[in-house]
Homo-oligomer: A and B are copies of this chain.
Amino acid sequence: MSCSGGLTLYINLLSAPARALTLLPRGIRAPYEEKNISFFKGEHKSEAYLKIHPFGTVPAVTDGDLTILESCTALRYIASKYDTSGKWYPADLASRVRVDEFLDWQHTKLRKHGVGYYFNLIFAPMINKCEPDMTLINSHKEELKKVDADMVRHFIKGRNFIAGEHVTIADLIAACELEQPMCANVTYSQPIMDYLDRVKSHIGPDYDQVHQKVRGFTKSMLNK
């Protein structure tokens, strides 16, 4: 697993931040290479991958000598370096604040409860060979209702996207994190569903393509 000279994304389409990440070079038509890191084969904890990402989580990004471990950091970096339109991570400070604010907020809100719901429903029973902990799962589901409401009243409000009229890296993270629990039957308010539709149609066919694997996988796990 050697770093090539150009932009390389180490991803797995079961991971929401990894899906968000791969949508960016596609959206800005930046050349990049994609390497799949299999969770089931334990590749994220392999010696080769730990040389790239010492904490063994997905995604990671390399670009020449530079390695980036965090998805939001990688999104900021790729947009800053490769997006010639300047729209995906706006330089104008007032717009940039809207993007950064969502990215900082989601770690302990949308992502926390989305992962809390999804992981405990889909992965924990498989890993620990036990029944799903429905009390825990339902508490995350309840928190996702507050997340939904907070996104509607603050982060989306009357706008098309988080920072205004163009999809930014904040919307990539938002949409991919919202989609994950939705694969496992979480439902959202109409404003969130409308927002997701706008993101999807702004991005085009890549949107469903990157979500195909997680949708199929989740369905198969729920029907086991």
Which A residues are closer than 8 A to B by beta carbons?
54-55, 66, 68-73, 76-77, 80-81, 93-94, 96-97, 100-101, 103-105, 107-108, 112, 150, 153-154
Q: A97 to chain B: which residues have CB within 8 Å?
A: 66, 68, 73, 77
Choose among B72, B105, B153 the residue that contacts A70 (Cβ–Cβ < 8 A): B105
How far, in whole Å, are A80 and B92 apart by their CA atoms in the complex? Answer: 11
Expressed in whole angstroms, the minimum distance between the Cβ of A150 and any Cβ of chain B is: 7
Write the chain B residue with the least CB distance to A108.
Answer: B107
Q: Majority SS of interface residues in chain A?
A: helix
Q: Are the CB atoms of A104 and B66 closer together than 8 Å? A: no
A56 CB → nearest B CB, Å: 11
Instruction: List the B side residues contacting A76 at CB < 8 Å.
Output: 96, 100
Contact in complex: A72, B100 (CB < 8 Å): yes
Residues of B contacting A100 with CB < 8 Å?
A: 70, 72-73, 76-77
Query: So how many copies of this chain end up in the complex?
Result: 2
- Distance in angstroms between the alpha carbons of A13 and B173 in the assembled complex: 32
Residues A108 and B108 in contact in the complex (CB < 8 Å), given A81-B93, A100-B72, A150-B55: yes
Q: How far is the CB of A156 from chain B (nearest CB, A)?
A: 13
The 10 closest A-B pairs by CB, nearest first: A107-B107, A70-B104, A73-B100, A73-B101, A72-B104, A70-B101, A73-B104, A77-B97, A68-B97, A54-B154
Known: A68-B101, A80-B93. 15 other contacts (CB 8 A): A54-B150, A55-B150, A69-B154, A70-B100, A72-B104, A73-B100, A73-B101, A73-B103, A77-B96, A77-B97, A77-B100, A103-B104, A107-B107, A108-B108, A108-B112
Q: A154 to chain B: which residues have CB within 8 Å?
A: 54-55, 69
A93–B72 CA distance with the chains assembled, in angstroms: 14
**Bound Cα distance from A37 to B214, whole angstroms:** 44
Residues of B within 8 A of A153 (CB): 54
A93 and B105: CB pair below 8 A?
A: no
Task: Evaluate contact between B94 and A66: CB separation under 8 angstroms.
Answer: yes
